[in-house]
Structure formats: C-alpha cells, structure tokens
Structure 1
Amino acid sequence: MNIHITGTGSYIPDTIEKNENFNQHIFLNSDGSSIDSSNKVIVEKFQDITGIVERRYAEPHLVTSDLGAFAAERAIANANIDPEELDYIIVAHNFGDVKHNTIQSDILPCLAARIKHNLRIKNPKCVAYDILFGCPGWIEGVIQANAFIKSGIAKKCLVIGAETLSRVVDKHDRDSMIFSDGAGATVIEATDNEGGILAHETVSHTLDEAYYLYFGNSNNQNLCRDTRYIKMHGRKIYEFALSHVPQAMKSCLDKSGYSINDVKKIFIHQANEKMDEAILKRFYRLYRTSIPDNIMPMSIQKFGNSSVATVPTLYDLVLHNKIENQSLSKGDVIIFASVGAGMHINAMVYKY
C-alpha cells in the first residue's frame, strides 16, 4: 500500500493587485515615523527582494472557506471520487473567515466543517477539522492524512490550504505587499501504484523563535490600538529559514532512501523569491553538488505569498501545465518544503 496524492485543485482569485497600486499608500516605520524613501523606491526595493510583481486578492463577497471549497471541488473532480467516501477533511489556515472590510476572525464552526457543508457531504463519519500550523499547514495536513491512512482508520482524505491574508494586513506596513489570497486542495488515498509519500520531517523551533510572526498593532499610531494585524520580523525569519530549512530537507531526503541526484523538482513555500533561492543553494551545498536547471518552480512573482495555499497551488499549477517550462513525469522524485509561524518547518519526499 502506497499513499498518493490522487487529485489536485486550486482557486486563485481574479482580482490582481499590482505593485504600482501601492504607490499611493502611506507606509510608516513600526514606531509610526515616516520612511525616508519615496513609495516608488520602496516598491522597487520590495520587488527586487521578494520577486513579487503582483498578487491576487479574494473577491469581496468571498471568505477563506469559500476559496477552500472551490479548490476542494476541483481536487475531488480531478481524483474522480465520490466526496461521500472521504474519511477526513483537514483544512490548514491561519485566520479563519475574515469578511471584507471587517477585523474579526470567525472560526466557529471551523473552516473544515464549513467546507464540508458547502460541498454538501452528508456522511457524518467524514470528520472535518482545522489545523493551525503557519505556512507549513498544508504539508502537515498531508502528513497527518498519511498517518491516518497507514494506520487503517481512513482510506481517503481531503487536505486543503486556504487563506485570505489581504484581510489581515496593515496597509501602513511595507510587509503588507507580500501577502495574498488563494486555496489549494489535494485528495490523499492509498493505491497499489509505486511511489507516493516516501518520507517526511517536521520540527518546531519555539524557544526563541515563536514570535517571529505575530499579531500586532498598525504602524499608524492614530489607528485603534486594539486592532491587530499580521506582523513579522523579516530579517530574523530570513536568517532562521536559511539556517534550518535546508537541514530539514536533507534529513527528509536521507530518510527516503533516494539521493540528491534523484530529485527532479522542489516545491518550496512561496514566501520570498530570494529566500527560496538561498534555501535551495544551501540545500545543494549540503550535498556538495550543483543545482540542476529548472529544479524549483516559482509562482510568487504573479501570485504573492498566500501562506498555506502556496505549495498545493503551485503543485496543481505545474501538474496542469500552467507554469512555463515546468512539468512532472511519472516516477519523478520531488520534495515539498515549508517554513512559517511558530516557527515550524516541514518537508516531504514524494514519488509522483
């Protein structure tokens, strides 16, 4: 018995927010003071560092669970299964359903229950729950589904990563330009086919690193001090990721029994283009070998950082030939990896 991803689906909103749209924003330092650069310079530096040119925002009438349901419908259709056969629906997110132009997160009931409701699944033995694990949430959900199926308590699981980060950003913070909205979904089940999930690795660094990403006040001191927005210590996250993610990836690959030369694709959380490239360099340096061409598909340039949605969305786009010069062939060994709030890191080796 091998555990495979048998169906994928994604939902990428139609609303495009380009970098030039931020030229009219009033960006401030964290202490509320003015920044000694024009918005044009701020945006240009941002693009140079992150690689982001544009990102997608959810339509005003939609919330995170809607996006997750749309992606789930496509994954279920792609897997060609009856949704009533699902044993688990696992939904990774960070902020629940936040309605447009509101500040309150809504997770009662949980998003997985809402998505199951939206899918009109009647089976009460289809258990629906959420996972809060930062950006690595979707990979961790797949790791849990893998364990459920291996243990015999499940046969088919639906794992979704969905987020509407545009609803929780501080428009006076330059980091707000990083975040975006979207959803990716996957059906996980046992098959007789070769390959599937070969190994996984998860670590949580919380002693000094727990609050590198956190909820904090707006940089605009005149706004309500009781309202919180997503905040991050970008330099600390960058250094943390470069120090720890490559090692987690190596540990996972070594457990799989495959060599670095067998790896055909690496799907890394789309957090920051330069950071992902640096992680890749350090990973290959651990094996004292060069980086193959075209090994790491990227979507951040057009879609931004949609947290838990970036990896499953990117995987779905590659499978459906929507990323230029990127494709997978049967038998390809690939690595999924992510890092995010907590600070959590995980990786998974998978044979397509």
Structure 2
Amino acid sequence: MSTKRFSKIVGSGSYIPTVQVKNEHFLNHSFFDPNGQKIETPNAEIIEKFKDITGISERKYAPDDQRNSDLAYLAAKDALESSKIDKESLDYIIVAHNFGDVKPNSTLTNQLPCLAAKVKNLLQIKNPKTIAYDVLFGCPGWIQCMIQANYYIKSGDAQRVMVIGSETLSRVCDPHDRDSMIYSDGAGATILEACETEEASGILAHATRTDTINEAYFLRADISDKADFEGNKNNLFIKMHGRKIYEYAISYVPGVVKEAIDKAGLDIKDIKKILIHQANEKMDEAIAKRLYRLYQERNIPAKIMPMIIQEMGNNSVATVPILYDQIAKDKLEDHKLKKGDYIVFASVGAGMNINSFVYKV
C-alpha cells in the first residue's frame, strides 16, 4: 500500500480566564425585552429558567488587563510548551474570532494588525514564512480554520499549522439583555502536522453549509434593549434570535454531521465522541437525538457528548478547542481519547454557518 498525507493534531493548549462569574451576579441587573419593555419577572426566576435551558451556572471573564489576543497567545504558548514543538517550524498561524481585541467597557473592536499577527509577535516568532491571518466565521470559526489548515497540509503547502479560537464575548454583550448571561471568554489552540501513513488517520472528512436568505441576521450587532442606555451612544452589542437559532440548529446541524460521517465511510456507531460547540445544553442534546435518529438509532451512548458549558459558558470559537484540550490532557473526568478512536467536531453560529469534521485519533 502507498502512503497518503493526513493532518494530525500533535499539540493542544487552552487558556481559561481567571474571573469567575456565577449566575448570582445577574440578580441585580435590569433586563429589557427586544421591544424596550422592562421585564418584570423576578431575576431569580429568570436565572433559574436560564440555567434549566442552557445548563450554565457560571462563566469565565477575562480580567481588564487582558486582550483577546493575549488569551490567544496564552493558549498558543500552552500548545507549544505541552507539545515541545519549535515555534519557528509553524507554517501558518490562523486565528478564529469575531470581535478582535475589545477593551473593557467599550465594544469598539481593534483588528489592526490582525490577532494572528499579534500572537506571532507575542510568541516572538522570527520566521517570515510563518504566515499569520484571521478568519471570521461565527462560532464555527475554529473548525473552519481546521478545515483550511487540513487543505494546506494535504496539498503539501504546509507541514505544521497552528489553529486558535479566542474570544472575549463578555465585552460585547448588552447588560440589559437576558442573553448576556450566556456569553464568556476563553481561548483554545491546536497544532496540526502532516503525517504520511498507509492507514487513514487524522482529519478524514468534513462538511459545511451557510444559510443567509432568512438566517443571516439571527445573530447581529445592535444597540441595547434599554433604549436610554448610556452605552448606546458609542456601542453595538451582540444580539440573537434565540428561538430561531435553536430551531435552525436542531434542523440542520444533524444533517451536516451525518454528511461528514458518511464522507468518511463510517457509521454513527463508529463514533466515540462528539465535540460540539456549546451555547445551550438542551439544544446540543436535541441535536444529538436527531443525529442518531438519522441513523435509525434511538439509544444515544452515555458520555458520547462531553459538556463543559456548565462552568465555562459560551465562549464562541473557543469552546471546541478548549473542550478538546481538556480531554486530551485528561482534565475532564470520565472522558478519554485513545488511538484509533473516531471523533466528530461540530459547530453552528453566526452567518448562519454550520460545519463538522471527522477525526481519527
């Protein structure tokens, strides 16, 4: 048999911010609906319902002295140190995010230079052939960057690619919007490397879709729900149509995941873990149920879908690489990966975009 070129994850890292924000933090907030009407439901009741739906009991925020690029750098540094890989050997650094660097108390974004260039600078990489650029693709950004990196490697253009997902959503959320309780900060990084082998390994197949006719503005930037909020003068906040996103995700994510599994020549029974973007626990559970039903399977294996949303919240592009790093480093109880396991990565988010890839450990 002749050898083929595959992309293998040879290193991972993450940075979880130090500021712990529990649900009780929101007890004294004033919440308004999208029409600008004050919500009279007691906050304790709002928070309890929020936790029941999303599973979130706390989230992590970056301290004021850290930028998004700092988080990305710390995750990248962790990946390099834990893998013992020479930073000068990287052919690409690709950073997924949505808002660039955002200072505390302002939603003004700074994307010049791009975050990847800032990370390369912070890592003090001298190699001019380490190409650094960013990708904006909503929450599925890190997975899309992994798909791009795989193309570079399989084409022979690259030997090693670092892919980072980093975000500080806490700085772009409206304090008067109940959805603000979902968002958090964090960063995750992986290093993909070319592997020549006869047996299929690494990234095996992927699938992606984008829907914009009716779905483009399910997630958008807009002013606060509180019409006279002082912050409306200079800021736009992340806004979402939660119900529409939920319906879109459970309708289409299962099909995209199945497409990737089918392209890999596998069956759902072959999959050991599903690492999915985490914004809503009940939504992810519904996606899993519908995915298994596409294969006429009613029973979902226990622990197939590791969840960290309970303590992390939704940190967008960072959720999946952080999840992978925690499992790879045995930091997540009852979840392990072993050589030969097939795992699925999947995400859904602004655009609206959905993507997935199948990976053999």
TM-score under structure 2 length normalisation: 0.96
Residue 278 of structure 1: aligned partner: 286
Of residues 170, 190, 193 in structure 2, which corresponds to 1:189?
193
In the aligned structure 2, how far is the partner of 1:204 from the partner of 1:257? 24
Q: Matches of residues 135-174 of structure 1 in structure 2 within 5 Å?
A: 135-174=139-178
1:128-165 superposed Cα distances (whole Å, 9 cap, x missing partner): 00000000000000000000111111111000000000
Residue 343 of structure 1: aligned partner: 352
Amino acid in the other structure paired with 1:220 = K
Of residues 238, 244, 249 in structure 2, which corresponds to 1:241?
249
Deviation at 1:220, TM superposition (A): 1.0
In the aligned structure 1, how far is the partner of 2:170 from the partner of 2:94? 23
Of residues 296, 310, 326 in structure 2, which corresponds to 1:317?
326
Deviation at 1:43, TM superposition (A): 0.4
Q: Return 5+ residue gaps in structure 1 as ranges.
A: none
Deviation at 1:330, TM superposition (A): 1.0
Residue 46 of structure 2: aligned partner: 42
Of residues 115, 122, 127 in structure 2, which corresponds to 1:123?
127
Preserved contact between residue 96 and residue 137 of structure 2 (Cα < 8 Å): yes
Q: Matches of residues 54-93 of structure 1 in structure 2 within 5 Å?
A: 54-93=58-97
In the aligned structure 2, how far is the partner of 1:222 from the partner of 1:141? 39
Deviation at 1:78, TM superposition (A): 2.5
Q: Matches of residues 194-213 of structure 1 in structure 2 within 5 Å?
A: 194=199, 195-213=201-219
In the aligned structure 2, how far is the partner of 1:228 from the partner of 1:59? 21
Q: What is the DSSP-based 3-state SS (H/G/I as helix, E as strand, rest coil) of the residue aligned with 2:256?
A: helix
Preserved contact between residue 6 and residue 153 of structure 2 (Cα < 8 Å): no
Deviation at 1:287, TM superposition (A): 0.3
Deviation at 1:80, TM superposition (A): 2.0
Preserved contact between residue 217 and residue 226 of structure 1 (Cα < 8 Å): no
Instruction: Give the superposed CA RMSD.
Output: 0.9
Amino acid in the other structure paired with 2:327 = V
In the aligned structure 2, how far is the partner of 1:66 from the partner of 1:254? 39
TM-score under structure 1 length normalisation: 0.98
In the aligned structure 1, how far is the partner of 2:296 from the partner of 2:39? 42
Bigger mean CA offset, 79-88 vs 131-140? 79-88
1:71-112 superposed Cα distances (whole Å, 9 cap, x missing partner): 001111223211111110000000000011223100000000
Q: What is the DSSP-based 3-state SS (H/G/I as helix, E as strand, rest coil) of the residue aligned with 2:109?
A: coil
Of residues 334, 338, 347 in structure 2, which corresponds to 1:329?
338
1:204-242 superposed Cα distances (whole Å, 9 cap, x missing partner): 111110110000110111122552100000000000001
Deviation at 1:318, TM superposition (A): 1.0
Of residues 288, 296, 303 in structure 1, which corresponds to 2:305?
296
In the aligned structure 1, how far is the partner of 2:239 from the partner of 2:15? 25
Bigger mean CA offset, 67-76 vs 222-231? 222-231
In the aligned structure 1, how far is the partner of 2:134 from the partner of 2:124? 18
Amino acid in the other structure paired with 1:239 = E
Residue 3 of structure 1: aligned partner: 7
1:249-292 superposed Cα distances (whole Å, 9 cap, x missing partner): 00110000111111000000011000000000000010011211
Of residues 301, 305, 308 in structure 1, which corresponds to 2:314?
305
Amino acid in the other structure paired with 1:78 = S
In the aligned structure 2, how far is the partner of 1:99 from the partner of 1:217? 18
Preserved contact between residue 62 and residue 186 of structure 2 (Cα < 8 Å): yes
Of residues 217, 224, 227 in structure 2, which corresponds to 1:221?
227
Bigger mean CA offset, 150-159 vs 189-198? 189-198
Preserved contact between residue 106 and residue 172 of structure 2 (Cα < 8 Å): no
Amino acid in the other structure paired with 1:115 = V
Amino acid in the other structure paired with 1:294 = K
In the aligned structure 2, how far is the partner of 1:225 from the partner of 1:70? 33
Residue 261 of structure 1: aligned partner: 269
Residue 32 of structure 1: aligned partner: 36
In the aligned structure 1, how far is the partner of 2:316 from the partner of 2:283? 15
In the aligned structure 2, how far is the partner of 1:327 from the partner of 1:162? 24
In the aligned structure 2, how far is the partner of 1:226 from the partner of 1:78? 42
In the aligned structure 2, how far is the partner of 1:243 from the partner of 1:225? 38
Count of paired positions: 352
